[in-house]
Amino acid sequence: MLRFSWVVLLGCGHASEPPKPAATHASAVAAYDAKNYPLCAEQFTATAKTVEKLVRPDEFYSAACCHALAGKPDLAFASLDEAASSGFKDLDGLSKDPDLILLHADPRWTSALDRIRAQIAAREAAIKDPALRRELADLVKKDQAARMAYNAAVRAGGKGDFSAADTADAATLIVLHRVVAVSGWPGTTMVGEEGAHDAWLLVQHMDKDPAFQKQVLGLMKELVKTGEVEEVEYAYLYDRVAVAEHRKQLYGTQFGPHQQPQPIEDEANVDARRKAVGLGTMDEYRAQMQKIYGAPK
């Protein structure tokens, strides 16, 4: 089955034909739902080649599913190899995925699983601080569970109780302060790509300590230069800090009441800045917000 992410990308046309519409994650999913599997594979492959690193494996994996459903096992195995090389790790889910059943009888199936298993093991072995990686993952589970419960209550028409999220945030802040004091901000070498993403997600929610968020932003800025931190994650935190300081944001990632973005610097060119860091357009971002939080009231 498809892996879902928040990405956008460009397609290309032939000089003698009208230009094709831009390939996006949403258009690829639409092709999948319409059972147009060749187009679905083409579009997921296009998006995978330019999205930020964290979601790239899922786009390649989804392309593999579409190739398999289209009856093209050679291309499916090639896409699975791309997914594995990019950081795909859900071997159990892959083994049970009904979209890939066509590949099970292929003699290459077992060796493909072995390659993916070996790459997962190599990435895990390369993480310098696996204990911190696990600690961050546990904090994210608590963070997300509390916020999902709150959002569900609000969508159901209730007021919502944010106290569980506040409790989780207080515990997280203690851990993040400790980590920064001892080791600096955790990048991919220290905790792996997913661990670095988890750390970023957590600091995004530390709004009760804006000085700490700004400190982390400075640390992340230097790590972006060495590839230890994703530029798109720096962009989100940049906007968060700017809004907290009553300044205009650059990337339009921070929304206020009624799902409207907070003021944006040079708003006419915001989509170009978003594209440069691997984000979709503002219109696509608004649509994503509505899927998560429901239509604005």
Single out the residue of 204, 76, 77 nearest to residue 139, CA to CA.
Answer: 204
Length of the chain: 297
Do residues 31 and 44 make contact, with C-beta atoms less than 8 angstroms apart? no
What is this structure's pTM?
0.74
102 and 149 both lie in a single domain? no
Buried b or exposed e, range 111-130, using 16+ CB within 10 angstroms: ebbebbeebbeebeeebebe
What backbone torsions phi and psi does residue 64 show, to the nearest 5 degrees? -60, -45
In a domain, 115, yes or no: yes
What's the rounded Cα separation, in Å, for the pair 177 and 120? Answer: 30
Give pLDDT, residue 174: 97
Do residues 31 and 39 make contact, with C-beta atoms less than 8 angstroms apart? yes
In a domain, 4, yes or no: no
102 and 155 both lie in a single domain? no
149: amino acid identity, one letter: A
In a domain, 260, yes or no: no
Quote the domain boundaries for residue 194. 130-247
76, 98, 126: which is the final residue of a domain?
Answer: 126
- DSSP class of residue 99 equals G
Single out the residue of 99, 62, 98 nearest to residue 80, CA to CA.
Answer: 62
72: amino acid identity, one letter: K
Do residues 62 and 44 make contact, with C-beta atoms less than 8 angstroms apart? yes
33 and 98 both lie in a single domain? yes
119 and 136 both lie in a single domain? no
Structural domain total, the chain: 2
Q: Across the strands, what pairs with 249?
A: 264
Do residues 127 and 117 make contact, with C-beta atoms less than 8 angstroms apart? no
259 by DSSP, 3-state: which?
helix
Q: Which positions ≥6 away from 60 have C-beta within 8 Å? A: 44, 45, 48, 79, 80, 82, 83, 86, 88
Give pLDDT, residue 20: 55
- DSSP class of residue 58 equals H
In a domain, 208, yes or no: yes
pLDDT in tens, the chain (297 residues): 655 443 322 223 333 444 455 777 888 889 999 999 999 999 999 988 876 677 788 999 999 999 999 999 999 999 999 999 888 888 889 999 999 999 999 999 999 999 999 998 988 899 999 999 999 999 999 999 999 998 888 888 877 789 999 999 999 999 999 999 999 999 999 999 889 999 999 999 999 999 999 999 999 999 999 999 999 999 999 999 999 999 999 999 999 877 789 999 999 999 999 988 888 889 888 887 777 666 666
Residue-wise pLDDT for 106-155, tens only, equals: 999 999 999 999 998 988 899 999 999 999 999 999 999 999 998 888 88
